[in-house]
Structure 1
Amino acid sequence: MAPVFLSAVLVFTALFDSSQAALDNKGTDFILTFPENLQRRQTNPKLFIACPHPSGATVEITLPSTRHNERVRVTYGQVTKVELERLEVELRGSKKSDSCKSVHITSDVEIVVYGVFAEGASSDAYLALPTDGLGTEYFVSCTSVVRNFNSEGFGDVPSEFGIVGVHDGTTVTIVPSQALTFDGQNYAAGQAFSVGLHRFETLQV
């Protein structure tokens, strides 16, 4: 059986209104990203969108990096698949992205969104949370997989997580539980560092 490596995706917001109704995974506004898949077979990441409303949904998918916009109709009782261009949305390296690698999804009624990034021996998937259900503190569970993948051009497989800005002027503070390198700088376990993000900007650790 081929090994499966899961990446953690972290969507960050600077503000959270606790006065809202009960939180769930349905919403009309989503901002997300796709962490790096270390396999390079050029498979594109995909969105899977479902609508719980009998009337269905009209969904707009925008890639802020290129301003590419696509409108899809999501039918009640069916799942709509949307393929994204890998180079426009995949995070690369341990750094803040040079361009916004985010995906902005809006809908006229509440929808449910899943992200899937599947390669031959590396399948990543997550349930996206709407922007009105986000908070300001997250824990990412990580492990390192020690295995040699010379044919793919890399050795030990590191853990990774991605962050996308939901509001302008957001300060993200990261406290690693083990040593890491970010943007060419080494950080020891417990050594906090901060990165500024505007809306749609992305980073990966």
Structure 2
Amino acid sequence: MSTMHSSDFSAPIKALTLDDLPVCKLNSSQNNAMLTWCSRRIFSIGGVDLQFEPVSDVNSLSPSTLWMQLDFAGSSCVLALSAAWAAALIQQDGWTLDAMDDLSLDMWCRVRWASHFPTGLILMQSCFNVESLGPMALEGKTPLAWIGRHASSQELSGHELHLWTPDHFPVQALAELVGQQAKAVLTSPLSGLPITLPMVAARWCVDAEDLMDLAVGDLLLIG
């Protein structure tokens, strides 16, 4: 009888290449603030603990099912949720998406969900199609997106969120307000070090004349 060792089941080691790294857009202060916000907060949605991460390619996500017109600090924005998220919300009351129309959905969102919104965030309208918000609902707004992962395994959960905001919309202030609903806020294991978090390995483009004295294999830290 042969003896099996734990090493026999270890995953194969794959060398990382540049193609494995995300593309980093250098609007650093807001990106860093959002990455830090996402990496530290755990939310409980439908009894499932989730963390979220920003997505650069909003077109890669699934079509949204639940659309909402929101007001935050006097500025209008549009929020859209994936089918998995919408179903998790209403199933707690024994409803299904197929059994609802725009009117019943809007009523449920106002009575059961929006009543728990933090002060300063107001639900104006909810519906199943963006067209119901009006033909100009997304006009002049910038799309942002986040995806959910199970906090324990980091597997994709299907909870996807789109947010369309006008210019100069206080996205980080809204995130901090929503973050008050988090189940837990984690402490970074590197919080005691004299460095700015987060640190991200990524691809980025810069003019050659802006870099001096760098050679292949050098590590560049940008803060």
TM-score > 0.5, shorter chain as reference: no
**Rg (Cα) greater in structure:** 2
Relative to its length, the structure with more strand (as a share) is 1
Relative to its length, the structure with more helix (as a share) is 2
TM-score normalised over the length of structure 1: 0.24
